[in-house]
Amino acid sequence: MPVIDKRANRLLYGIDYLLIKSVSFVLWIIRYSLPTKWSELISKEDRHINVLNNVVGLTFFNALGGMLLLFTQIKLANYMGAALYGIYSYYLALGEVGANVVRYGRDKTMLRELVQKPEEQPSLITHTFILGLINLSIFMILVIIFHESLDVVFSLSTLLLILSPCLISLDFQPVYESLSMMSWHSIYYFLQKILFLFCVWGLLISDIPVSLFGIAFILFISWIFVLFLQYREITSQLGIRIFRSLRWKNLLGLYRQGFFIALSCLLSVAFGPLIRLVLNMYVDSYAVGVYAAGLQIYSIGLFLLLQIGRVGNPMMAELGKNSSEREKRCLFVRRYLLIMIACVLPFSIALFFFPDTIVCSLFTSEYVELSSMLPIFAIYLLVYSIGNVFIQFLIAFRKDKIYFTIFSIGAILTVLFAFILIPSYGVIGATLALCVPHGLTCLAYCIFSLKYL
| Segment 73-95 mean pLDDT | 83
User: In the predicted model, is pLDDT for residue 44 greater than 60?
Assistant: no
pLDDT band at 86 (very low <50, low <70, confident <90, very high): confident
What's the mean pLDDT when you consider all of the chain? 82
pLDDT greater at residue 115 or residue 387: 387
- Residue 34 is predicted with a pLDDT of 60
Kindly report which listed range (109-113, 199-203, 221-225, 235-239) carries the lowest average pLDDT score. Answer: 109-113
How high is the pLDDT of residue 48? Answer: 58
> What pLDDT is recorded for position 222?
93
Model confidence pTM above 0.85 = no
Cα three-residue angle 25-26-31, rounded to 5 degrees: 95
Give pLDDT, residue 223. 92
Q: Residues 6 or more apart from 418 whose CB is under 8 A from it?
A: 270, 274, 275, 278, 429, 430, 433
Exposed/middle/buried for residue 390 (C-beta within 10 Å: 0-12, 13-18, 19+): buried
Q: Categorise residue 364: left if φ over 0, alpha if ψ from -120 to 50, beta otherwise.
A: beta
Q: Decide if pLDDT at 292 tops 90.
A: no
Q: Is residue 189 predicted with pLDDT exceeding 60?
A: yes
Q: Evaluate if residue 338 carries a pLDDT over 80.
A: yes
Quote the pLDDT of residue 326. Answer: 76
> How would you write the chain as a 3-class SS string?
CCCCCHHHCHHHHHHHHHHHHHHHHHHHHHHHHCCHHHHHHHHHHHHHHHHHHHHHHHHHHHHHHHHHHHHHHHHHHHHHCHHHHHHHHHHHHHHHHHHHHHHCCHHHHHHHHHHHCHHHHHHHHHHHHHHHHHHHHHHHHHHHHCCCCCCCCCCHHHHHHHHHHHHHCCCCHHHHHHCCCHHHHHHHHHHHHHHHHHHHHHHHHCCCCCCHHHHHHHHHHHHHHHHHHHHHHHHHHCCCCCCCCCCHHHHHHHHHHCHHHHHHHHHHHHHCHHHHHHHHHHCCHHHHHHHHHHHHHHHHHHHHHHHHHHHHHHHHHHHHHHCCCHHHHHHHHHHHHHHHHHHHHHHHHHHHHCHHHHHHHHCCHHHCCHHHHHHHHHHHHHHHHHHHHHHHHHHHCCCHHHHHHHHHHHHHHHHHHHHHHHHHHHHHHHHHHHHHHHHHHHHHHHHHHHHHC
CA distance 75 to 196: 14
Max mean pLDDT among 101-110, 155-164, 170-179 falls in: 155-164
Q: In this model, does residue 216 exceed pLDDT 70?
A: yes
- Helical packing angle, 285-322 and 273-282, nearest 10°: 160
364 vs 160: which has the higher pLDDT: 160
Cα–Cα distance between 38 and 392 in angstroms, integer? 33
pLDDT at 242 over 90: no
For the cut 90, the answer to whether the pLDDT of residue 209 exceeds it is: no
Alpha-carbon span 180 to 178, nearest angstrom: 5
Average pLDDT over residues 224-239: 90
Look at residue 428 in the predicted model and tell me its pLDDT.
Answer: 93
At position 145, the amino acid (one-letter code) is I
167-181, 254-268, 292-306, 323-337: the lowest-pLDDT one: 254-268
Q: Give the pLDDT of residue 6.
A: 78
Q: Which amino acid belongs to residue 69?
A: L
Most confident of 12-21, 89-98, 138-147: 138-147
Average pLDDT over residues 235-250: 84
Per-residue pLDDT band for 361 (boundaries 50, 70, 90) equals: confident
Bigger pLDDT: 124 vs 41? 124
Q: Is the pLDDT of residue 296 over 90?
A: no
Residue 160: the pLDDT is 93
Confidence check: pLDDT of 324 > 90: no
